[in-house]
Amino acid sequence: MSDIKMIEGGVCAAKGFTANGVHCGVRKSRTKRDLALILSDRDAAAAAVYTTNLVKGAPLTVTKKHLENGVARAVICNSGNANTCNANGIEIAETTCAALGEKLGISPDDVVVASTGVIGEPMSAEPIIGGMDGLIAGLGDHNEYAAEAIMTTDTKIKSVAVSFEIGGVECKMGGISKGSGMIHPNMATMLVFITTDCAVSSEMLGRALKSDVSETFNMISIDGDTSTNDMVTVLANGAAGNKLIDSDGGDFDTFMKALNTVTVALCRMIAADGEGATKLLECSVTGAKDLQTAKTVAKSVVCSSLTKAAMFGADANWGRVLCAIGYSGADVDVTKIGVSFESKAGEIEVCRNGSGVPFSEELAKAILSEDEILIKVSLMDGEFSSTAWGCDLTYDYVRINGDYRT
């Protein structure tokens, strides 16, 4: 299988893709870009997954319709207003696609449209349409502009890219994402846009994305709230010139590995930048009797408010980890469970066979004071494993969400 190499460029790393981000006026602050565009110079196979929240943003409805044929050319996304629960939401999303299609000379049905921001706020398509000329004129190798324009409460740009080989041909894949609050494992709970110049059929692209999401984006939790607007979209334009991947085999396995490298990197960035977060939490569960048990336990631990608060305070309160496992609904033997904490400061065992073991509080404090913490859970009941990502729960999370709208 081809080696996966990390490279620069984000969504512009792949051949045939350009991007830009501008301030159009959806946001009041003129210092913040609020409109992003990603464009392929040719038709691209496209696939997406969407939030499971029954309250869905209008852009998701429009995008889902547009991707029924598995083809797209452009992605346009605004921040500052979610275009959710608006009587004219569908009209705004469709008007946006129509205007962009006319200006680019492409079909409106080949446009993926997305919005993120405050829910239920009145919205108009006027500032978006008014900003399109400048947005299009500035298209180029501007991955960071696009990544900035989709941010809401994010504090950092989230971008990654990789190169890989398919049949001796170099292919590239890159992605950007936003996600800081309303992140909970119930796909899709953030905005993620991925581009690749690899030639892959829309059917196989959809299979790859659906399979990957269950192990990556569905394994993140910031605050237990599932968003209304968010989705993960992949565009594959085939510009690399590799033989089309349209069936299972080694080439598809390599593509899946590249996709997973991109998505895991973005998962870690999203979790680390959770609202008010100071620490990235990773829960690794091993020894489960089946995959679902491993996933259920891992998610329960990273979702536990008490565990998250303990991690913020660098308190090795391992009982909260066991508590989260106990109410997770997973069928486990609690008398076999082992727990340890690990960071670049070292590793410390705190629980064995469901009971506490003596440990140094000083070493535990040092380990949990780092900005990335691994919570290792061993169920000693099988060969399955899973990983979930989250963050600590801080005072700032309440502050941020206490005045999010005002």
Single pTM value for the model: 0.83
In the structure, what pLDDT confidence band is assigned to residue 244 with cuts at 50, 70 and 90? very high
CB atoms near residue 247 (< 10 Å): 10
What was the pLDDT predicted at 120?
82
Rounded percentage of the chain residues whose pLDDT exceeds 90: 76
The active-site residue, picked from 96, 189, 263, 293, is 189
More confident residue, 235 or 401: 235
Distance CA 18, CA 34 (A): 17
- The structural domains of the chain, ordered by start, are 5-272 (3.60.70.12), 280-402 (3.10.20.340)
Nearest to 384, CA basis, from 332, 326, 349, 335? 332
For the cut 90, the answer to whether the pLDDT of residue 183 exceeds it is no
Contact 142, 11 (CB under 8 A): no
Does the annotation mark 189 as catalytic?
yes
In the structure, what pLDDT confidence band is assigned to residue 119 with cuts at 50, 70 and 90? confident
Q: What b/e readout covers 220-238, taking b as 16+ CB neighbours within 10 angstroms?
A: bbbbeebbbbbbbbbbbbb
Please provide the average confidence, as pLDDT, over all residues in the chain. 91
Looking up tokens 């946006």 gives 96
Contact 303, 184 (CB under 8 A): yes
For the cut 80, the answer to whether the pLDDT of residue 276 exceeds it is no
